[in-house]
Amino acid sequence: MTITTGKQLSGTGKLTQKTRRQAIWMVLPAIIYLLVIGIFPLLFALYLIVHKWVLSSGKPPQFIGFGNIIRLIQDERFFIALGRTVAFAVGVVTIEFLLGLLIALLLLNHGRMLLRTFVLLPMIIAPTVVGLTWRFMFNSEIGVLNFFFDIMGLESPLWLGDTTIAKFSIVLVDVWEWTPFIILILLAGLMSLPPDVEEAAHVDGANYWQMLWYVKLPLLRPAIFVALMFRAIDALRTFDTIFVLTAGGPNNVTELLSIYAYKVSFRFFEMGYGTVLAAVLLIIVLLFSRLLVPILEKR
Amino acid sequence: MDTNKKNNGNFVKKLMDGGAFGLLALYILFCLFPILWIILTSFKTHAAINTFPPQFIFIPSFENYNTLLTSHDFIGFLTNSIITATVSTALVMALGIPAAYSLARYGIGGHRLSDWILSMRMFPPIALVVPLFLMFRFVHLLQTVWALILVYTAMNLPFAIWLMIGFFKDVPKDIDDAALVDGCTPWTALWKINVPAVAPGLAAAAILSIIFAWNEFLFAVILGGGTAKTLPVAVAGYVTDRAIFWGPMSAASVIALVPIVIFAMFVQRYLVRGLTLGAVD
């Protein structure tokens, strides 16, 4: 669409050469800016990937070729973090989708604008605030969640201290933080469904569930796809919330790939290997985003 | 029998409605409770916070806010946050508005360019933070607000351009074509016709950019820190392995979230569009 616009203008004659030149000048500063701050670091990352550079040692970077890559494929901690990251992403996206769909449908029928405003709060406040608020509520001595468990006569779990429960605790926090995102997208999708479809289905005697399954969900498919893709990408990239919540602990069971990459880079100061770990995440995310790009461009 | 069935149906429907409302209420409570809890906590004294069972009714104390707002350091962090968020957003708009207009109207670079801008939005910050750390270290910009301003501009520019392309495309092209024929340059067409026409959308893009910059943590902790600490880093600094100060943490959190909540109210209508890069309206 954008391309035809350009062609049409260039068809109208002399004016357009000048117009076109001005149009290029309009976009150039932004492009140069993104090249310097966005793309140059990536090229620099390629340099880092083939070098051993331990900042704390004071030694200059040393070329090691595929050394970092070989280390990567022998690094058990990396594979565990990678598998954990994928499991985390699959887990949170599934739960958030099901819960989000349910709440979106409920809001569609019972929703007031005010309720919608409440619902979006968790995802707009700072991830560090989210992580620390939950850390406070999870606290084993003064945490309010343990108080609720006490009232119900249940034994309070060690939310962040137990190596099994901690994995579910970080999922719970992510579900709290990001289900609103799914709700907002699906609600917007549901509200834009043409009313005549629903009426026709009504006349044909479809009940609520049949209507949902055979009419609404298929029509909603594009919105669902967009919601799932965005969530999957963001779940794979998750860092802030979990970092302040557990920093990967206890015993590294909540160490996502982004957190492992952070530790290698800024606790052990291994710039080269840290970059390799982050690059794996970048490649996965970019592959995912390729699926999303055509949909976004169609609009 | 027929009426009986109908009554039954009504009853089931009412029951389901009640159940639905109950579920919804439960979810809203789940959403709001942590936020309310951190706000309540921020008004408790140190002693009140560290008691179990936790107190729900108590005499509010401004101890934590007093500590923060009379602390020279904290005022500095707050100032850093305000500066980085506003200056980076100003840069985003200055670079982004002409670029978005040009891409939307004149198709400069075609699909490839907008494609690339979009992919930049998906970069995991962790993949950029090491090279950026070394680059800023080299030019001695670490621990300055400038490092954060430069990075936040790059972080928000792709999404802002993408979002604004959508807004500019909403303006009928005929108006622009007519203006060009009348001797307008693209610049004057942009400022006199297009910007006023999509002003609310541009404001929404700016507010989203402020929100993202205000909330950002990873770049802030690695590139900023020290004298360039922003609120999210300060908040995290109250809870470390060595010492935990829930009181100041909660008060700082509330100070960090209040402006964001207010801003979000303004952009609610554009939030979905902004967060999905225009894929869902």
**CB interface of A with B, residues 233-292, below 8 Å:** 233, 236-237, 239-240, 243-244, 258, 261-262, 265-266, 271, 274-275, 278-279, 281-282, 285-286, 288-289, 292
CA atoms within 13 Å, Cβ hemisphere of A43: 7
Instruction: pLDDT band for B4, please (50, 70, 90 cuts).
Output: low
Residues B228 and B99 in one domain: yes
The 10s digit of each residue's pLDDT in B83-97 is 999 999 999 999 999
In this complex, is the C-beta atom of B224 within 8 Å of any C-beta atom belonging to chain A? no
Using CA atoms, how far apart are residues B208 and B264, in angstroms rounded to an integer?
8
Distance from CA of B58 to the nearest CA of A (A): 15
Residues B140 and B266 in one domain: yes
User: In this structure, are residues B155 and A237 in contact, taking their beta carbons and an 8 Å threshold?
Assistant: no
Which letter, b or e, does each residue of A235-274 get, where b requires 16 or more Cβ atoms within 10 Å of its Cβ?
bbbbbbbbbbbbbbbeebbbbbbbbbbbbbbbeeebbbbb
Using CA atoms, how far apart are residues A237 and A240, in angstroms rounded to an integer?
9
Residue B271 lies in a domain: yes
DSSP string, B218-250: HHIIIIIBTTB--HHHHHHHTB-SS-B-HHHHH
Across the interface, whether the CB atoms of A122 and B280 are under 8 A apart is answered no
pLDDT of the residue at A109: 78
pLDDT of the residue at A7: 40
Residues B6 and B70 in one domain: no
Lowest mean per-residue pLDDT among A181-190, A206-215, B49-58, B78-87? A206-215
Residue B155 lies in a domain: yes
Q: Which of A69-83, A110-124, B11-25, B163-177 has the highest average model confidence (pLDDT)?
A: A69-83
- A15 has pLDDT over 70: no
Q: Which among B124, B238, B275 has CB closest to A285?
A: B124
DSSP string, A27-58: HHHHHHHHIIIIIHHHHHHHHHHTEE-BGGGT
Residue B248 lies in a domain: yes
Nearest 5°: phi and psi at B32? -85, -30
pLDDT of the residue at A13: 42
Nearest 5°: phi and psi at A131? -60, -45
Distance of CA A5 to the CA centre of its chain: 34
Residue B108 lies in a domain: yes
The 10s digit of each residue's pLDDT in A81-126 is 999 999 999 999 999 999 999 999 999 877 667 788 888 899 999 9
User: In this structure, are residues A259 and A45 in contact, taking their beta carbons and an 8 Å threshold?
Assistant: no
In this complex, is the C-beta atom of A164 within 8 Å of any C-beta atom belonging to chain B? no
- A9 has pLDDT over 50: no
Domain span including residue B228:
65-275
User: B239 to chain A: which residues are within 8 Å by CB?
Assistant: 132, 135-136, 244
In 3D space, the residue among B202, B226, B217, B223 whose CA is nearest the CA of residue B256 turns out to be B217
The 10s digit of each residue's pLDDT in B94-145 is 999 999 999 998 877 777 777 777 788 888 999 999 999 999 999 999 999 9
State the alpha helices, DSSP H only, in B139-190: 145-170, 173-181, 186-188
Chosen from A132, A234, A286 to mutate, greatest number of chain B CBs within 10 A:
A132
State chain A's maximal CA–CA distance in angstroms.
82
Q: Which domains does chain A show, CATH number per domain?
A: 2-48 (no CATH), 76-298 (1.10.3720.10)
Across the interface, whether the CB atoms of B31 and A121 are under 8 A apart is answered yes
Instruction: pLDDT band for B3, please (50, 70, 90 cuts).
Output: low
Residue B196 lies in a domain: yes
| Residue in chain A lying closest to B219 (CA) | A240
The 10s digit of each residue's pLDDT in B233-268 is 999 999 877 778 999 999 999 999 999 999 988 888
In this complex, is the C-beta atom of A30 within 8 Å of any C-beta atom belonging to chain B? yes
